[in-house]
Amino acid sequence: MKILLLFDLSISLKPEEYVDYWKSDDFESERHTKETLENLGHTVTPFGLHDDLDPLLKEVKDNPPDLIFNLSEAFRNHRRYEPHLVSLLELLEIPYTGSRPEALHLCKNKGMAKKILSFHRVKVPDFLISRRSSPIRSLKGLKFPVFIKPLDLEASEGISQLSFSENAKDALERVRYLHERYETSVIVEEYIDGRELYVAVLGNEKLQAFPPRELHFKHVPEGEPRFATFRAKWDDTYRKKWGIKTGAGSLSEEIELKLMELSKRIYRLLGLSGYGRVDFRMTPEGEFVCLEVNPNPSIERDSDVALAAAKAGLSYDDLIQKILNLAIGAIDPQLDRSPSRKKKK
């Protein structure tokens, strides 16, 4: 199968220029996916995208791929364009991996996603939205402490120790800073104390949830707030200092199954397809609170998705092949099939 591996670049480069660039640690998902697809017998063309769509359109016209393995998250360095890139693939009528545009739009709008889940009686933190065009002036109705983050950014961008606030003055100052620094709207939500758990889900209609992964804060003192900042996600030295790492969630079989079923329900409610990850806090009382839903999460070999799949008996090669099967449909009737892409006559 001819596969175009689509990913985003932070600067504009020609294919012959980014061959070495994309092999850096920042592109583990791309590199691991390419190597695995080739090991599976597919022909893979890596294609980096920055701020110009013409090269992509020319590539798919001159060398039509059978499928696009979509690892793109941004265009012109803006993540808000991610759903629009997938809409383009829809218009080109090329099968692609991962979620469809509507699910990407919905999950990026954290406030709307939470409203939908709340309507369906899924527990989420209480929250307020501060629009950049009309910033909030009061946090009346929210219980402190609160957590403040950009509304439509991902990968912990805009999250620091100052994201946690125990009073309105500091919280509103952080809101103001995020409006100015990231030029985006902001969500202020109740801080949920408890264990942080991640559940990966695979599928379109028939879903498989993998065993939960847990974010551990080994060296963070008891009583201190525990959450993943931008540095905690991307700075190895910082993670080692505070003992921040993910591992298998140590839950009873009953609780684990309950969490996995809830994750599949949330996945369906927000219309995800292909693969995704649902993030939770489990309170000391044992209540699950959904923090966020992530379509198309990272899938490098040591990612939480891949490690959770491995615990469920699915090798990395099998995981990548399954994602392909979900994108193009499969001969085996027991496997999920993607929506038909036949043209109307």
pLDDT for the residue 334:
44
Q: Measure the CA–CA gap between 69 and 71, rounded to whole angstroms.
A: 6
Predicted confidence at residue 330, as pLDDT, reads 32
pLDDT of res. 14: 80
* Among the ranges given (64-78, 160-174, 196-210, 236-250), the one the predictor scored with the smallest mean pLDDT: 236-250
Please check whether residue 84 is in contact with residue 49, taking contact to mean a CB–CB distance below 8 angstroms.
no
Res 96 pLDDT > 90 = yes
- Residue 89 is predicted with a pLDDT of 95
Within a domain: 304: yes
When the pLDDT of each residue in the chain is averaged and rounded to a whole number, the result is 90
Domain end residue (candidates: 190, 212, 229): 190
Quote the CA–CA distance of 8 and 30 in Å, as a whole number.
Answer: 10
Mean pLDDT of 322-337: 65
Q: Does residue 255 belong to any structural domain of this protein?
A: yes
Q: State how far the Cα of 201 lies from the Cα of 210, in Å rounded to an integer.
A: 6
Tokens 């927000």: give the residue. 270
pLDDT at 174: 96
Q: How confident is the model at residue 339 (pLDDT cuts 50, 70, 90)?
A: very low
Q: 19-23, 104-108, 309-313: which range is least confident on average?
A: 19-23
Cis before residue 145, ω within 30 degrees of 0?
Answer: yes
Q: What are the φ/ψ torsions at residue 294 (nearest 5 degrees)?
A: -120, 100
Sort strands 186-190 and 195-203 into parallel, antiparallel or unpaired. Answer: unpaired
User: Which stretch of 136-145, 197-206, 216-225, 336-345 has the lowest confidence by average pLDDT?
Assistant: 336-345
Whether residue 303 lies inside any domain: the answer is yes
Measured distance CA(170)–CA(174) in Å, rounded:
6
Q: What is the CA radius of gyration of the chain?
A: 20
CATH of the domain at 145: 3.30.1490.20
Do 196 and 229 meet the contact criterion of CB atoms below 8 Å apart?
Answer: no
345 belongs to a structural domain = no
User: What's the pLDDT score for residue 203?
Assistant: 96
The predicted structure's pLDDT at residue 153: 79
Q: Out of 16-30, 47-61, 211-225, 266-280, which region has the weakest mean confidence (pLDDT)?
A: 16-30
Q: pLDDT tens, 269-299?
A: 999 999 999 999 999 999 999 999 999 999 9
Residue with tokens 């992964």: 213
Whether residue 113 is contained in a domain is answered as: no
Residue 295's pLDDT is: 96
Q: What is the pLDDT of residue 342?
A: 40
User: What CATH code is carried by the domain that includes residue 239?
Assistant: 3.30.470.20
Q: Rounded CA gap, 115 and 189, in Å?
A: 13
User: What pLDDT was estimated at residue 269?
Assistant: 98
Is a pLDDT exceeding 50 seen at residue 344? no
199 and 319 inside one domain? yes
Residues in the chain: 345
Q: Residue 119: inside a domain, yes or no?
A: no
Q: Which amino acid is at 127?
A: F
Average pLDDT over residues 318-341: 66
Answer yes or no: is pLDDT of 333 > 50.
no
Do 232 and 161 sit in the same domain of this protein?
A: no
116 belongs to a structural domain: no
- Inside any domain, residue 224: yes
CB 316 within 8 A of CB 301: yes
Q: What residue numbers bound the domain in which 156 lies?
A: 126-190
302 and 227 within one domain: yes
Q: Inform me whether the pLDDT recorded for 35 exceeds 70.
A: yes
Mean pLDDT, range 204-219, rounded to an integer: 93
Do 228 and 313 lie in one domain? The reply is yes
Tell me: the pLDDT tens digits for 144-199?
999 999 988 776 788 999 999 999 999 999 999 999 999 889 999 999 999 999 99
Q: What's the rounded mean pLDDT across residues 51-74?
A: 95
Say if CB 67 and CB 95 are below 8 A apart: yes
Domain count across the chain: 3
**What tokens does 204 get?**
């379109």
Question: What span, in angstroms and rounded, lies between the C-alpha atoms of 298 and 173?
Answer: 32
Place of tokens 């009583």: 223
Strand partners, 209: 201
What's the distance, CA 267 to chain centroid? 12
- pTM for the full model? 0.90
Same domain, residue pair 134 and 208: no
Q: Quick one: what percent of the chain has pLDDT higher than 90? A: 73
Q: Starting from the edge strand earliest in sequence, which strands make up the sheet with 67-70, in order?
A: 43-49, 2-8, 67-70
Quote the pLDDT of residue 343.
40
Whether 96 and 89 have beta carbons less than 8 Å apart is answered as yes
Q: Is the pLDDT of residue 44 over 80?
A: yes
Residues of the chain with pLDDT > 70, as a percent, come to 95
Q: Per-residue pLDDT averaged across 6-12, rounded?
A: 91
